[in-house]
Chain A
């Protein structure tokens, strides 16, 4: 990596300006290339598959964006979606983080008002790559604030291709995180910038950027807790300054006010525990500021007196406030924390109390290989980065270290938060690499200088008795001289901005460097080897990233492919099923499926679903879970009471698609059983093992999910061999009494069943009498059977 300042350090004062200008252009060009890299490395999914929205949540965001672009912003805020969570519906405008949608909607509007006909889908697909480029530029800015331009460029290049971030921001992965990571880094940058300059301008920008982050992602609580932590750290380590005050106080006030404007946050911004740390630190900061102010006014003796006074009063007030807060918080059942936050603080919380959070694979703790997969060599570079942040420790570098430490903790709790760790790891690795290159290239330079200087001196007379250090310094002076002459220093008056830029570029060169340079000289061979090894390391990283982007993270998950001898085989079953639903069922039909497929069904098939990926109503999901784990008749009753007409199940047994409903089934049982106790998990397990073969329990073999998945499956090969589970199924031949198959996709991955209509009651009188007595009995007994009666 080109580091303009290292060359500047050697260059003379006259030449330095030109060099700085050159360095500035080089730096800008490098940043441009980094942006292009960040954008284009995410296009593998478009090239290998197609320009399509990926996975589950992006489909919802896409649908919301479509609505926004069609109906405008006011309709969007008031949007009550009746096509989901039937019969409850969902207030989309008030429950969605609107940042991503508004961003893409704005881009779409802008592009279309320029008469460039891009579809909403195209804009949505490419939003994530665009924001990855932005994020890498923000990383540059943040790292530059902490450790200078070289480290900034290094970090930006690393972030542009870190697999962890790629996994969430490939083209088509239209999810909140894609823009949120940019907003996160940019907010941190503005905070650090304010901290370094003490400028109110940046402080205001910081609040706005925080607002954008709040709009974009629930992860904003990370910011509003990390920054107070850093402020506290600064205060504790005696680094309080007016700059710190300016960096923090406006952020809390403006940021909280702005955050409360976002409907989904609203009064949560002042009422939930996630935000209390910031207010507490706000109070502490003011107390400290007061103390410093008084210290400046009073003589030391008086100050001591005042100090005790202020501390005692301050503590009393603090305790009072804290006590009130604690009382308030304790009065709420979850102690004012949301479930997800609680599971962050106590990693075992979710699995104990909220199976719905625990059932999501991205909420599981990561395994060690996933660290290697997601941040690769950065894991080894980070410690070096931490060390170099302590040499010397500044406000900015301490912030970076704090960010890393907290992010490491959170990533250890949830695999999804690996995403928050990635920028921190990139920044620190960038710093580490940049420092390492700095040291190594500098020592090579010194060695080379010595080499060239020594040879004429040796051939000359022996009068050169001065130390090698002074020789090298005279030599460098000579160099400066020469460079100055050759470059004919530009004498025209540079513009204000140029000079400012010069300053910025050059200000990161401490004056001590020249002296340190003389001290930190490594042997030539060692430094060359070191550089080579670092380059090899970087090469490994790049190869890994490209592989991850191309192979591991490019699949859109709604289209699957497999390579066989005849070539690429495409499994497009999901869209086949959704297209069928959308064209061949009535617009108002209700489709029941497990919540994973809710977003896709509403977005692609445009049919009303019972539950979807916004898991806001546990009971409702439990109802569907109960229906799936009940025998056919009970399930039919539940579904019928919900007006369901079609039931959709995902089945991978024929082609070996592992994340199908049978593998998710235990969660349905667990979540269903959590609300309706007559569903008991042990009923579905044989000796604690989950199986669907001949050993399976009768409850399992008679539940709806089993039947819908394996209906007539045995006829495919005569044995009913399930390729995912790897054995023959337990119950092979059975008939459906309350459901009929209406559609099964080409590879059987999606099967859609229709609820059979209720049988006609032909012999009226007799039946009516019977059923009358029956209903009266079911009212008493059926409470546990059918949750809707």
Chain B
């Protein structure tokens, strides 16, 4: 800070340098002027309008060029000093022949290096679509956009100060041709104008600074002018923007933009006091900016705004049918030199940006960032095409470095082709449409879902196979055999149990028939029931026999076998007793005995039957429980 010279001396030094440059230029040009111009062109009128309201300087030069030489001229040269040319972000020329205004054509422009011109100048040549004949007049509009041309001065200011910048140019139009009449008007953002170079006919009115008209200037005339004025417009400079455009043929174009923004104006010096900023934000913090406005295409959806540590909650959005306007406010107000990063993402409907043309598809979308009045020092646009795209072809309306990458995302196998375009110094003027042509088969869309389906299908299949196969390593180890036998025993026991339960059910049926008998007195039906039961008992006994033998023969049944034997015996006894009772009751009914007598006769039998039944049931239960061995703590 201490090394900074006081302002007036600095300006003077600057001017001195410029003058030196100028002298050099003029000396050089004097010698070169003869050979520099191939044709004898004369600029009859040059009006320059310089717009200094934002930090991007736009110069619109209207030229009237006349060919006074004998030969037809096919190109018009435009000259810029190197100091300006290195800040030149865009140059465009529109030409129109004839006196009356008609449709103008865009003139292609290229850098040329004519022989014998001073090296301090950079030349551009606008090639005419039709050579300019002798005596013809060409109307030409040249739009040049410069970045970094407003130098903050002083370079460091405090929070309360407003930002002053210096703009340098030539009061005279620098041209390789003689200029007859010329004017220069500079539009300032309003506010204070600290100083400006005064020439004879210089006028400052409102926020407009006018130089000229100057008449009959020789080629390469240069007269430096400097204007020092207040400009508090946001100097939003993005160091780098990565804009990723991802096409999904499921119906979405996803755009993700990573910004690294810095306030490119005068640096903040000293304290930042929140109390000052909050109480009078437009006075104490006038040079800072709080928010940026992004104009997104209409029907943008799923918009997010975040940075690497999470969502940023300060943003607003309005949308109508023409556009979606997003106001993003960084986490903190940006003062000079402060920087921040953030990411904006949004989705766009596919049909608005991807079209079909003779078998090929093409993406048609704007190149630059949607943020207003932002200077991007390095813009990288990545177009991520869907997996399986072929024949990729890019057409960009201006030169840009391009190469290809592959990106893997969302279950990709072969990866998505990515077209990368890189361009330095991108300004809003570069927000032009560019096209990416590619071939894409619709079937490829289904690749990933099919992959998932197959994956899950295989998983479930594997599960099923695993559940149904026996993965024991050794098929004849004793433990394995024991297990197999044990399973067998369990199976048999289960069947035996089932049979016994059916027996018990039959018993119940018999009892029921007896009850029916006592109610209706129908002896015949009771007898029929008895007969049916007898037959079924026999059948069951037959079924039981092989099971019992196989159970007996199994070595694993040693625990259960006695119980089962017991069960068989008990059940047989029960069956006999029941039959006996049944026959007694039926008998007594046939003999028409009194109910009381019948009761007496069967009372003892009844008791025995009940006791037996209880025993059979408990045995069954025991067998049921012993089917499951005792590793359960509660079972013992």
Contacts and interface: CB of A to CB of B under 8 A. Distances in A.
Interface of A: 12-14, 50, 52, 114-117, 148, 196-197, 392, 394-397, 460-461, 463, 466, 470, 473-474, 477-478, 480-481, 484, 489, 493, 495-499, 503, 506-508, 510-511, 514, 558-559, 570, 572, 575-576, 578-580, 583-584, 604, 712, 715-716, 740-746, 748
Contacts of A496: 470, 483, 487
Given A14-B494, A741-B271, A575 B310 contact: yes
Contact of A511 (B279, B331, B624): B624
B505 A481 contact: yes
A508 B467 CA distance: 23
Interface stretch (B112-120, B195-203, B335-343): B335-343
Contacts of A740: 270-271
A443 B106 CA distance: 94
A748 B274 contact: yes
Contact of B272 (A115, A116, A742): A742
Contacts of B337: 584
Interface of B: 270-275, 279, 307, 309-314, 331-332, 337-341, 408-413, 467-468, 470, 483, 487, 490-491, 494, 497-498, 501-502, 504-505, 508, 515, 518-519, 599, 610, 614, 617, 621-622, 624-625, 628, 631-635
Contacts of B408: 115, 117
A745 B274 contact: yes
Contacts of B468: 495
Given A117-B409, A396-B633, A743 B504 contact: no
B309 A575 contact: yes
26 contacts: A12-B498, A13-B498, A13-B501, A52-B310, A115-B411, A115-B413, A117-B410, A197-B631, A392-B633, A460-B515, A461-B515, A461-B518, A477-B617, A481-B508, A499-B490, A506-B628, A510-B634, A511-B621, A511-B635, A558-B310, A575-B331, A579-B331, A580-B338, A604-B309, A741-B271, A743-B274
B465 to A, nearest CB: 12
- Nearest 8 A/B pairs, CB to CB: A511-B625, A394-B633, A744-B274, A481-B505, A52-B310, A50-B311, A507-B632, A576-B331
Contacts of B633: 196, 392, 394-397
A604 B337 CA distance: 21
B35 to A, nearest CB: 53
B467 to A, nearest CB: 6
Contacts, number: 150
A463 B518 contact: yes
A13 B497 CA distance: 7
A58 to B, nearest CB: 13
Contacts of B340: 579, 583
Given A196-B633, A745-B274, A572 B409 contact: no
A715 B409 contact: no
Contacts of A481: 501-502, 504-505, 508
A580 B487 contact: no
Nearest to A570: B313
B238 to A, nearest CB: 13
Contacts of B412: 115
Contact of A495 (B467, B494, B625): B467
Contacts of A572: 312-314, 331
Contacts of B310: 50, 52, 558-559, 575
A507 B272 CA distance: 74
Contacts of B490: 499
B331 A744 contact: no
Contacts of B508: 474, 477-478, 481
Contacts of B635: 507, 510-511
A597 B491 CA distance: 67
A580 B487 CA distance: 72
A570 B315 CA distance: 12
Contacts of A461: 515, 518-519
A570 B313 CA distance: 7
Contacts of A396: 633
B497 A394 contact: no
A158 B42 CA distance: 92
B335 to A, nearest CB: 9
A506 B629 CA distance: 11
A558 B338 CA distance: 23
Most chain A CB within 10 A, of B275, B337, B599, is at: B275
A397 B632 CA distance: 12
A13 B341 contact: no
Most chain B CB within 10 A, of A14, A584, A604, is at: A584
Nearest to B261: A583
Contacts of B631: 196-197, 507
A463 B273 contact: no
Given A115-B412, A481-B504, 4 more contacts: A148-B634, A477-B505, A480-B501, A578-B309
A114 B451 CA distance: 12
A772 B80 CA distance: 61
Contacts of A746: 274, 332
B594 to A, nearest CB: 14
A404 B314 CA distance: 48
Nearest to A605: B309
Contacts of A712: 273, 275
A788 B522 CA distance: 115
Contacts of A148: 634
B488 to A, nearest CB: 10
Contacts of B519: 460-461
Nearest to B270: A740
A13 B628 CA distance: 12
A748 B621 CA distance: 77
Contacts of B272: 741-744
B411 to A, nearest CB: 5
B498 A583 contact: no
A396 B632 CA distance: 11
Contact of B332 (A474, A484, A514, A580): A580
Contact of B621 (A14, A52, A514, A743): A514
A715 B284 CA distance: 15
Contact of A580 (B331, B411, B470, B632): B331
Nearest to A52: B310
A489 B271 contact: no
B518 A576 contact: no
Nearest to A195: B633
A503 B491 CA distance: 13
Most chain B CB within 10 A, of A392, A489, A495, A579, is at: A579
A510 B624 CA distance: 10
Contacts of A495: 467-468
Contacts of B270: 740
Contacts of A473: 617
Nearest to B504: A477
Contact of B622 (A12, A114, A395, A511): A511
A52 B599 CA distance: 84
A716 B275 contact: yes
A507 B628 CA distance: 6
Nearest to B408: A115
Nearest to B337: A584
Nearest to A477: B504
B610 A13 contact: no
Contacts of A579: 307, 309, 331-332, 340
Nearest to A393: B633
A196 B632 CA distance: 8
Contacts of A392: 633-634
B409 to A, nearest CB: 5
Nearest to A482: B505
A762 to B, nearest CB: 11
Contacts of A559: 310, 313
Contacts of B307: 579
Nearest to A17: B494
Contacts of A474: 508
Contacts of B497: 13
A498 B518 CA distance: 48
A114 B411 contact: yes
